[in-house]
Amino acid sequence: MEKEWNIIEVLRHSRHDWLNKLQLIKGNLDLNRIDRAKAIIDEIVVESQNESRLSNLQLPAFAALLMKANWENYLFQVEYEILEDTNAIRVNERELVTWANLFFDSLNASVAMEAENLLAITIVPLKEGARFFFDFRGIIKEKERIEQFLIDVSRFAIETSVKEFTEHELAVEVYSP
């Protein structure tokens, strides 16, 4: 019954998220801020479109990783955007998932707990492979963790390049053939 528990847990998290959004809409309606409520609905629709695009990429393990990221109690929030609605992209998914898991864990171990930490991920599907931009804003306390991560993934087939790396920002670009 493990599979069923999984479904129930996933729906529990998802329901919780949706009810929070609904609460936000309701709160604004109660204050008679109708336009704000409508704007929130529009934002949610865009967010859902991104989730739908992510599903369409045919990268089940990577998609599941991103969709579940905010249920993992990381010290940072994850947002993602897929720049184009593509039916399937061919990337080295196994390595990408390992990369992303290592990155999330290293980032989690290095950021300041009390800060507002946000990791924004942008996915650009290409004819051959895809580019992934990981932009972190927040407070990084232990840079060594990230540095170690960058050494660890340097032997990977997917290419990692650091665009920005300060106490408040980390921008990493990944190309997977």
Residues that bind a second copy (CB under 8 A): 1, 3-8, 10-12, 14-15, 18-19, 22, 25-26, 29-30, 32, 34, 37-38, 41, 44-45, 48, 51-52, 55, 60-61, 63-64, 67-68
DSSP run (H or E) holding 50: helix 34-56
Question: In the 3-class helix/strand/coil scheme, how is 121-147 assigned residue by residue?
Answer: EEEEECCCCEEEEEEEECCECCHHHHH
Q: How far is the CB of 2 from a second copy (least distance, A)?
A: 8
Q: How far is the CB of 53 from a second copy (least distance, A)?
A: 12
Closer to a second copy by CB, 38 or 168: give it.
38
Q: How far is the CB of 22 from a second copy (least distance, A)?
A: 6
Closer to a second copy by CB, 15 or 143: give it.
15
Among 168, 106, 163, 167, CA closest to 132: 163
Closer to a second copy by CB, 7 or 162: give it.
7
Q: How far is the CB of 16 from a second copy (least distance, A)?
A: 9
Distance between CA atoms of residues 145 and 129, nearest Å? 28
Closer to a second copy by CB, 31 or 162: give it.
31
Distance between CA atoms of residues 157 and 177, nearest Å? 8
Whether residue 136 contacts residue 107, with contact meaning beta carbons closer than 8 Å, is answered with yes
